Structure 1
């Protein structure tokens, strides 16, 4: 039986941390940045955890985790 493949787009967007959770980048930091305050942009730079309801969906993209 062939190996199962990881969804490559997911491997670029999510990073696994050891307790079964995933880190992700926040949205709203790509364009139209002039109207956003520096404080808001700085807080959007931080990585956050994927929500509990989405974790199983993200985990399905990684067959060997």
Structure 2
């Protein structure tokens, strides 16, 4: 049986922390930034964690 490949889109978007949680970046920070406030753009800069509801789906994509 062949090896199961990791989804290449997921491997670019997610990374693992030392404790096994999955880090993600916030959406809405790539374009049309002129109409967004400075505070909004600043808060979107920080990384977040994948929610527990989506954890199983992301782990399947990453083949963890």
Given the two structures, how large is their TM-score scaled by the length of structure 2?
0.87
Question: Which structure 1 segments of 5+ residues have no match?
Answer: none
Question: Which structure 2 segments of 5+ residues have no match?
Answer: none
Distance 1:52 1:32 in 2: 30
Distance 1:13 1:57 in 2: 14
Equivalent residue, structure 2, for 1:35: 35
Q: Give the helix-richer structure, 1 or 2.
A: 2
Given the two structures, how large is their TM-score scaled by the length of structure 1?
0.86
CA RMSD of aligned residues (A): 1.2
Q: Give the strand-richer structure, 1 or 2.
A: 1
Distance 1:5 1:35 in 2: 40
- Moved beyond 3 Å, runs of 4+: none
Equivalent residue, structure 2, for 1:52: 52
